[in-house]
Amino acid sequence: MTEKVNIQTRALKANVEKALQWIRSGLIIAAPLENGYVFLADAFDHDAVRALHVMRGDALGIVSQVLIPRQEVIDGIARDVSLNARVLMSTYWPGQLTFNLRPHTGLNWDLGDEKELDQVSVRVPSAKFVLALLRKSGPLAVGSAARAGSAPLLNPNDISAREYDLAGIFDAGILTPAPFSTIVSDSEPGIELIREGAVTLHQLQELVPDIIVSGSANPKPRE
Please state, for a pLDDT cut of 70, what percent of the chain lies above it.
96
Three-state DSSP at 97 gives strand
Instruction: Tell me the C-alpha distance between 162 and 104, whole Å.
Output: 34
Whole-number pLDDT of residue 28? 96
Would you give the end-to-end CA distance of the chain in angstroms?
Answer: 49
Whole-number pLDDT of residue 223? 45
Q: Is the pLDDT reported for residue 22 higher than 90?
A: yes
Q: Which residues contact 126 (CB under 8 A, 6 or more apart)?
A: 34, 94, 95, 96
Query: What distance lies between CA 148 and its chain's CA centroid?
Result: 15
Q: What is the pLDDT averaged over residues 7-31?
A: 94
**The CA-based dihedral angle spanning residues 97, 111, 71, 26, taken in that order and rounded to the nearest 10 degrees:** 120
Residue 21: CB atoms within 10 Å = 12
Looking at 3.30.300.180, 3.40.30.10, 3.50.50.60, 3.90.870.10, the CATH number of the domain 70-120+179-223 comes to 3.90.870.10
Question: 171-206 burial, b for 16+ CB within 10 Å, e for fewer?
Answer: bbeebeeeeebbbbbbbeeebbbbebbbbbbeebee
Please tell me if the domain spanning 1-68+124-176 has the same topology as the one spanning 70-120+179-223: yes
What is the per-residue pLDDT across 68-109, written as a single tens digit (0 to 9) for each? 999 999 999 999 999 999 999 999 999 999 999 999 988 888
Q: Is the pLDDT reported for residue 147 higher than 70?
A: yes
Instruction: Tell me the C-alpha distance between 188 and 191, whole Å.
Output: 8
- pTM given for the model: 0.93
Q: What is the pLDDT averaged over residues 142-166?
A: 86
Instruction: Tell me the C-alpha distance between 140 and 67, whole Å.
Output: 5
Q: What residue segments make up the domains of the chain, in order of their start?
A: 1-68+124-176, 70-120+179-223
- Average pLDDT in the chain: 92
- At residue 33, what is the residue type? L
Q: Which residues contact 203 (CB under 8 A, 6 or more apart)?
A: none
Helix (H) or strand (E) holding 20: helix 12-24
CATH number 3.90.870.10 is the correct assignment for the domain at 1-68+124-176: yes
What is the per-residue pLDDT across 158-208, written as a single tens digit (0 to 9) for each? 998 766 679 999 999 999 999 999 999 998 889 999 999 999 999 999 999
Helix (H) or strand (E) holding 189: none
Whole-number pLDDT of residue 120? 94
The torsion region of residue 26 among left (phi > 0), alpha (psi -120 to 50) and beta comes to left
